[in-house]
Amino acid sequence: QSALTQPASVSGSPGQSITISCTGTSSDIGAYNYVSWYQQLPGKAPKVMIYEVSNRPSGVSNRFSGSKSGNTASLTISGLQAEDEADYYCSSYTTSVVFGGGTKLTVL
């Protein structure tokens, strides 16, 4: 399976909203609602922020939301905070797993 496509970087100012896209195919993102998003702080393990397109695990801020349209999923972070600066990865889980290339979020 080919990697999902994410922008290499996005940026925003504190308080603003940003959206990270994740494009796959009709065999992965388009086929199932098994899209998840992970936040990775420098030197740390990934942490799930969104699962099954739009569900937030307990403890994750409601500033994080997810959606999907066709073969493209999106992660939106509203009310941007300095602590949100990290790498973000989308993923599609089927029989195998495929990740996006990652997006570096910079909070200006």
Binding residues for another protein, rule: CB under 8 A, are 1, 3, 32-34, 36, 38, 40, 44-48, 51-52, 57, 87, 89, 91, 93, 95-102
Distance of alpha carbon 50 from the chain centroid: 7
Q: What are the backbone angles phi and psi of residue 15, rounded to the nearest 5°?
A: 90, -20
Instruction: Kindly tell me which of 45 and 82 has the beta carbon lying closer to another protein.
Output: 45
Minimum distance, C-beta of residue 76 to another protein, in the bound complex (Å): 18
Task: Kindly tell me which of 44 and 79 has the beta carbon lying closer to another protein.
Answer: 44
Residue 5 DSSP SS3: strand
